[in-house]
Amino acid sequence: MVNAQKITANTSFFMIALIGQKILSFIYFTILARSLGAEATGQYFFAISFATMFAVLVDLGLSPVLIRQVAKDQEGGQRWFQQILTLKLMLALATAIFLVLLNSFLFYSDQVRNLIYITTLITIIDSFTLLFYAYIRGKQSLKYESWGTIIFQLIVMILGLSMLSLTHSVAVFLTVLLAASLFNFIFSLAILKSKWQVKFQMLYDRAFIKNISLLTLPFALSAIFAKIYAYIDTFFLKMFMGDAAVGFYSIAYKLTFALQFIPLAFVAALYPAFSNYFKNDQQALEKTFVKSFNYLAFISVPLSLGIIALAPNLVDKMYTSQFHFSIFPLQVLIASIPFLFVNFSLSSFLNATNRQKINTRNLGLTMVLNIILNLILIRVLGIWGASLSSSISTLFLFSLNLYAVLSVVKPKADEFAPVIKTVMSGLIMLFAIGFLQDYIVWYWTILAGAVIYLGFMLLTRAISKQDFVFIKNSLTKAQ
C-alpha cells in the first residue's frame, strides 16, 4: 500500500542521493580538470556531451510513460515494460548506427572520435538502466535507484582517482564511467528480476505501439528540445574553436549547472501543491506561485552575484591558473542563475496546470534561438559568446514561461516587491565582497558576504523567520 509517508520518505532519500551524487561528481570533475588540463578536459567533456545530446533518441519519452502506466496499472505493467523494452532495443540499435556514422563523418581525423565510441556505449547502457528504474519508480520505490546513484558515483570517484596516479589518458577515465554504468545496469536489472520477477520478453503489437507513440510524443519533443538546448553550445565550440575552448567552457558550465539540485529540490515540493490548488483553490495557487518566485530569487541572486565577484579566485584556486580563460565565461553564464532557478518553478506550474504543450513550445522556440545565437556569437566573441548565448536563451525561456503563467494567475505587482529588495541586498553584498577581497583571505569573504546579504534582507524585511521555515521545508521535505 502506498501512503503519503512512504512517498515522502522515498522522495527525500532520493533527493539526498541526487544531491550527494552531484557534489561528488563536481569534486571529481574539478580534480580531473586540474590534472588533465584544458585540452584533455575539453575532449572528455565534449565526448560525453556529444553522445548525451543524441541519447534522447534511445528513449524518446518511453521512460516517463512507463512510470505513469506501471503506477496506474500494477497488473498490466509487465506488458507495458515488454513492449517498451522491445521499442528501446530497436531505437538503441538505430541510434548507435547513426552516432557511429555521424562520428566517423564529423571527426574521422580527430582524437575525439574513439572517445565518442565509448560514450555512445555508455549512453545506451544508461538508457536501459533508466528504463529499469522507470519500472521500479512506477512501483513507488526510489530507494534502489538512490543506492544505485550513489554507488555509481563512488565507483567513478574511487577508480578515477586511482587511475590519476597512473595515467592521464582521457579514454581511461571514460572507461571508468563505462564500468560504473555497467554496475548500475546490472544492479537495476537484478532488482527487477529478484524483487518484481519481471519477465524479459520481446513484444511487438502494432496497435499497442501506436498507443505508446501518442503518449510519448510530448515527452519526446520536450526531451529533444532540452538536450539540444543544453549541449549544442559545446558542439559549436568544438567545431569552431577546438578542444581547449571546450575545456575552458566546461569549467563555467559545471560551476553553473552543478547548482541545479537546489531548484529541483524546491520544485519537488511545489509540484503537488500547484496541482492540488489548480483544482481546488485558485487563491492559494496564486499565493504559492508568488512565494516560490520570491524565494527562488532570494536563494539564486546571492549565489549568482557572489560567484561573479569571486570568479577569479574560484577558478584560479580550484582549477589553477591554466583555466584563467574560464573566468569571464563563468561570470556571464552564472548571471543567468536567477532566471534559471525561477524557471524551474514556472515550468512546474505550467505542467501542474495542464499546460505541457506551452512548456514544450517555449522550449522549442528557445532551442532555435540558442542555435542561432551560438552560430553568430561564438564566431564573433569566442568562448564567452557561448556563455552569452546560453544566458540570453535562459532569459528568453523565463520570459515566455512567465507570460504563460501570468495568463493563469494575476498577482499584483507589489507582491513581487521582495525581489527588488533581494536584488538591492545582493548588489550591496557584491560590492562588499569586492572590497573585502583586498583585506581578507578570499574564502572568508563568502561567509562575510552571506552575513551582509542576510542582514540587509532582514533589515529591509524582504524575508522573515516564517520564510526561512518555508524554504527549509521545501528543500528537505519534498513530496
For residue 248, which of 36, 441, 3 has the smallest C-alpha distance?
Answer: 36
Of 204, 231, 250, the residue that ends a domain is: 204
If you average pLDDT over each of 194-208, 277-291, 368-382, 463-477, which comes out highest?
A: 368-382
Instruction: Tell me what pLDDT residue 476 has.
Output: 56
Instruction: Tell me what pLDDT residue 76 has.
Output: 65
Decide if 245 is inside a domain: no
If asked whether residues 173 and 269 sit together in one domain, one would say no
Decide if 364 is inside a domain: yes
Decide if 367 is inside a domain: yes
Of 169, 188, 204, the residue that ends a domain is: 204
For residue 178, which of 110, 129, 231 has the smallest C-alpha distance?
Answer: 129
| For range 163-192, the mean pLDDT | 95
Domain residues for 125?
A: 1-204
Count of CB atoms within 10 A of residue 328's CB? 19
C-alpha cell recorded at residue 420: 527588488
If asked whether residues 415 and 288 sit together in one domain, one would say yes
If asked whether residues 392 and 323 sit together in one domain, one would say yes
Identify whether the C-beta of residue 233 lies closer than 8 Å to the C-beta of residue 374: yes
If asked whether residues 413 and 297 sit together in one domain, one would say yes
If asked whether residues 14 and 83 sit together in one domain, one would say yes
If asked whether residues 163 and 280 sit together in one domain, one would say no
Decide if 252 is inside a domain: no
> Quick check: 262 pLDDT over 90?
no
For residue 131, which of 174, 194, 42, 70 has the smallest C-alpha distance?
Answer: 70
Residue with cell 520544485: 267
H helices within 320-355, ranges in order?
Answer: 327-334, 337-352
> Quick check: 240 pLDDT over 60?
yes
Q: What is the pLDDT of residues 402-458, one digit of tens each?
A: 999 999 899 888 888 889 999 999 999 999 998 998 888 888 898 999 999 989 888
Instruction: Tell me what pLDDT residue 478 has.
Output: 46
Percent of the chain with pLDDT over 90: 55
Task: Report how far residue 4's alpha carbon sits from residue 358's, in angstroms, rounded to the nearest whole number.
Answer: 30
- Cα dihedral 249, 251, 257, 262 in deg (nearest 10): -160
Decide if 339 is inside a domain: yes
If asked whether residues 317 and 425 sit together in one domain, one would say yes
Decide if 227 is inside a domain: no
Residue environment code for 49-79, b if the CB has 16+ CB neighbours within 10 A, otherwise e? bbbbbbbbbbbbbbbbbbbbbbeeeeeebbb
CA within 13 Å, CB half, 250 = 29
Of 204, 224, 241, the residue that ends a domain is: 204
Decide if 311 is inside a domain: yes
Q: Which run of H or of E encompasses 54?
A: helix 38-59
If asked whether residues 200 and 268 sit together in one domain, one would say no
Task: Report the sign of the C-alpha dihedral through residues 470, 473, 476, 479, in that order.
Answer: negative
Identify whether the C-beta of residue 303 lies closer than 8 Å to the C-beta of residue 259: yes
Number of domains in the chain: 2
Task: Report the sign of the C-alpha dihedral through residues 409, 410, 414, 417, in that order.
Answer: positive
For residue 48, which of 122, 157, 154, 124 has the smallest C-alpha distance?
Answer: 122
Lowest mean pLDDT: which of 85-99, 154-168, 214-228, 420-434? 214-228
If you average pLDDT over each of 11-25, 63-77, 333-347, which comes out highest?
A: 333-347
If asked whether residues 175 and 289 sit together in one domain, one would say no
Q: What is the pLDDT of residues 346-397, one digit of tens each?
A: 998 888 888 888 999 999 999 999 999 999 999 999 999 999 999 999 999 9
Average pLDDT, the chain: 88
- Find the distance separating the first CA and the last CA of the chain, reported in whole Å: 17
If asked whether residues 199 and 283 sit together in one domain, one would say no
Percent of the chain with pLDDT over 70: 94
If asked whether residues 316 and 432 sit together in one domain, one would say yes
Decide if 379 is inside a domain: yes
If asked whether residues 446 and 356 sit together in one domain, one would say yes
